[in-house]
Structure 1
Amino acid sequence: MSKALYNAKIVPRRSGERGHANHGWLDSYHTFSFANYYDPKFQNFGSLRVLNEDRVDAHRGFDTHPHRDAEIFSYILNGELTHRDSMIKKGKETKEGDDFFKMKRGDVQFTTGGTGIAHSEQNESNKQVHFLQIWALPWARGLTPRYHTKTFSEDAKREAFLPILSPLKAGPGASYDDEKAAEPTLPDTIPIHADLVMAAGIIGVDKRFKWTVGANAVRKQGSRNVYIHVPMCKNGSAKIRLDGREEAVLGEGDGAFVSNVNAGDVLSFESIGEAEAEVIVLDSD
């Protein structure tokens, strides 16, 4: 067992305490206030603003709708979700990039809302899709809208936490050319306009992972806000113990607010359920 990080404050957010809305075609759980769910205690955590765990029925979805001044990303857990946006025409498709894209497990689709953009997310398949919808607050308003889509290795996630997003390397003062180059701080990640790193891991039964706060990629070194989420992927069979603490045992749908930690601190994760546990880390300022 890894040594506990005694300075860390860990507060679980239990699955059943989340906001919940079942619209028939959409079954959605809200970690933070969203749409018709409002709780003043759960507005954001650092720059993390929205964490919804959604299931959308076959041939249903979110019609074209606008966004602005938010960093928005979808992490596909199971099934297929088709993204279209206001800058392209229906029918154009690429394997990976900024255009029409059929997202499957392992894919992440990222949007900078910036000055304003519209997109749709539709399940055009014959099976339900299960995914996380996450929003972060950008470090500047009025950014140029932009999309990124990338596939992340399942095998790599089973070895260690795999970084998915990291801050745009050029930072808040990025030039037009920097924005166009879209170079992330961590190689092979998607760049985000926030002091935030997202990572994902699939922890085998009785296996242990570690997460180094900040991942050597952030500007703010002290008082980081790390949110941990365990998606509902294994019919309740997955479970982790965070930082060796019995009060921080998390089942599927549970999360945890980790505060009073600094860049370089190491959090330990132990998979103690009957099935491997997929774990999402959202490490923000």
Structure 2
Amino acid sequence: MERAKIVTHRSSSRGTAGNGLRQSFYTFKVGAYNDSPFESFGCLRVLNEDLVQPQSGFPMHPHRNMEIFSYILEGELTHRDSTVSKHVISNTNKKQFYRMKRHDVQFTSAGTGVYHSEMNESEQEVVRFLQIWVQPWKQGLMPQYHTTTFDEKAKRQAFLPIISPLAAGRNASDADESAAIPVIPRTIPIHADLVVGVGIISADQTFKWTVGAGDQVVGTRSNRNIYIHMPGTQTKMAKIRLSGSREVLLDEGDGAFITNVNVGDEISVQSIGSSDAEVIVLDSS
């Protein structure tokens, strides 16, 4: 890791927008936010940290040819989409509607086009979540939804992969698309050369992320692009140290671009704050 190059992206340099009912923090250029020098990183296109007040959110809106996932940090967020009556809420048919909670990930492969909404239907609780967009390896795909709950205990033991490439690859058949089998079992499949991992690191603990998440997982093996993000919390007492060609400290809301790394390299992330550090790793071609 001595050759790794790390460039920080401080929370204070993110774009912001809000209307009193919701507030967004933008890592990359998106929508009306054009001031960021960062437009994408590998296949990563958008990383927004959203804070939504009760009885508010993002009404029905369209997406096309983008892989989109929401990672819930606190509160509950109700996903609705254009495929089922909007008056129905189901926690059993997770491909359609879902009231998402802490540790849930709701994934949309927008493909040829979808309409969906994310609303905080609580009367009192605020919801905070990450919304992340990834450019797919192929356009015109069949729209898909997946929702999965990931175990907190597993996240506290090591970085837990939550998203990995579709095993059938970019030339997948319709049957492969319907089967939706990921390279890493029990993760959500994505149409991109990307692995996403999450860890909750206790104070003084160190987790290591293996670039590419091990052998035979990703397609591009050299010069991968790693983005590390530490979301904000109410306490704002988390801090981490990254080790590479130089040590880098990140506070809540900060991120880091890591380049010059290959499959099998290890990135060390140490929690040095006075509270748990929740860390998202996006490992991209």
Shorter-chain TM-score range: over 0.9
Is 1:135 the counterpart of 2:133? The answer is yes
Match of 2:15 in 1: 19
Q: For 2:90, which of 83, 93, 115 is the aligned residue? A: 93
Contact map agreement 1:96 1:150 (CA 8 A) in 2: no
Match of 1:214 in 2: 212
Indicate the larger mover: 40-49 or 175-184: 40-49
Is 1:170 the counterpart of 2:168? The answer is yes
Match of 1:75 in 2: 71
Match of 2:112 in 1: 115
Once the two structures are TM-superposed, the CA of residue 245 in structure 1 deviates from its matched residue by: 7.1
Identity percentage of aligned residues: 58
Identify if the C-alpha distance between structure 1 residues 254 and 96 changes in structure 2 by more than 3 Å, giving closer, same or farther. Answer: farther
Q: For 1:51, which of 32, 47, 50 is the aligned residue? A: 47
- Structure 1: distance between partners of 2:173 and 2:146: 18
- Structure 2: distance between partners of 1:120 and 1:113: 13
Contact map agreement 2:5 2:244 (CA 8 A) in 1: no
**TM norm structure 1:** 0.96
- Structure 2: distance between partners of 1:273 and 1:148: 34
Amino acid at match of 2:183: T
Once the two structures are TM-superposed, the CA of residue 41 in structure 1 deviates from its matched residue by: 2.2
Matching of residues 189-208 of structure 1 within 5 Å:
189-208=187-206
Amino acid at match of 2:122: S
- Structure 2: distance between partners of 1:75 and 1:207: 23
Q: How many residues are matched? A: 281
Contact map agreement 1:213 1:262 (CA 8 A) in 2: yes
Match of 1:12, SS state, is: strand
Q: Which runs of 5+ in 2 are unaligned?
A: none
Match of 2:242 in 1: 242
Contact map agreement 1:55 1:128 (CA 8 A) in 2: yes
Match of 1:157 in 2: 155
Contact map agreement 2:26 2:47 (CA 8 A) in 1: yes
Match of 1:254 in 2: 254
Once the two structures are TM-superposed, the CA of residue 7 in structure 1 deviates from its matched residue by: 1.1
Once the two structures are TM-superposed, the CA of residue 38 in structure 1 deviates from its matched residue by: 1.0
- Structure 2: distance between partners of 1:66 and 1:272: 41
Contact map agreement 2:4 2:261 (CA 8 A) in 1: yes
Q: Which runs of 5+ in 1 are unaligned?
A: none
- Structure 2: distance between partners of 1:244 and 1:8: 6
**TM norm structure 2:** 0.96
CA-based RMSD: 1.2
Contact map agreement 1:96 1:149 (CA 8 A) in 2: no
Amino acid at match of 1:102: R
